Structure 1
Amino acid sequence: MRINDRIRVPEVRLVGPNGETVGIVPTHEALKLAQEADLDLVEIAPQGKPPVCKLMDYGKFKYEAAQKAREARRNQTNVIIKEMKLRPKIDAHDYETKKGHVVRFLRAGDKVKITIMFRGREQHRPELGFRLLQKLAEDVQELGFVESSPKQDGRNMIMVLGPHKKKADAKVELEAEKQERMAEREADAQEVRAERVATQPTPSSEKKAKRANEALDPDIDL
């Protein structure tokens, strides 16, 4: 992007600082207008005939463009595809463990590729894999949805689950939950410390107890 004296064409199609069309003017006149307004002459469409230039505060323009770029990067969803492999005859305990991993991935805003691996005679019973994938999708439907329906891929059957929440939103929610857990732990710790302080005898109470014991001691001469 060329600005001011770097614009070497004889004339430009000039746009005012508020977006108004000025028209085709000699470049030296456009530069003079920019100087009088304490602005820059910025080439915004070099392919035009003649090139289109605008009067603007170039420093402010660059700053706002950088801000928008940073905001776009922050809002960009970086979806990661996790993978979880299961056997069609998986036992209940292993299934719950695997499901727990899938839940964690979806809560973090990641997609999950579920692969059912068939071996031997299992390959002739694809309905086992289909029912297992269907069950898993139902078990996690509050967190994710079936983005790619189960399909056979050689000896495997594959399904892709997508998260309901975007990565950025999931990250904010997880961070809020983390802060809440930390606050709860700190509150519990403060309660324990308060209980310890409350149960510790004060020096005055220790003296009173000692005098009471001495008064009850029969070996003390009166």
Structure 2
Amino acid sequence: MASGVTGLLLRSGCFPLLAVEFLRAYLSRRGYRGTAINNKEPRVNDRIRVPKVRLVGPGGEQVGVVKTEDALRVAVEANLDLVEVAPNSNPPVAKLMDYGKYKYESAQKERAARRNRSNAQLKSIRIGMKIDQNDYNTKKSQAERFLNGGDKVKFDLRFRGREQSRPQLGVELLNGLAEDLAEVSTVESAPRAEGRNMSMVLAPIRKKTEAKSDQRRRREAERETRRQQGAERAKRQQENARANAEARSQQ
């Protein structure tokens, strides 16, 4: 891909002012106009007004410092967008990408992250220092069920009487539970004393079933992206044809 981008740049030659303005008009009609300076979104296509940029290809390859109008021409010929990814660099860094696809995938990831945060709950399990083996196994199985369901588990250990003078025994008990549940969880909050109580929080480890669900969602998102890209490509071709006709009429 690097050679393809570089080849387009080598063929670009000198850009007359009319051609530059034509490119900016074409790219602005694509709908990805960038944003105001105080917005978090990057400047895109015709909103990039610096004379030169350090161009990065769509695969991450370093092309080098080029004139912005040359980079815009490459974006048009490759049916991609020119996105300013590092505006504070000298010169600013701009990358060739499909900005619509990038925004769509970013929104999908953010929605998935919010959904996971909202669905997760903190389940509390109380135990005592004088817990027998049967009760220990019951509490462990209960915690394992919660963790496999995607919830966090907080173990609350209460000291009674003289037990409070030997907190290390409580640490050993909670650490033992963490070791027994290591296949399905990680320690989010280590054993910590809270007055007459001691607590520990375990977080679930992602399961294979969750990974498969994520893969299925990604495939569905990719299909939707391809469908949108096809519609956008057809629209671009129509706009390109109109822009070419306008440019010819002005000559």
TM-score, reference length from structure 1: 0.49
Structure with larger Rg: 1
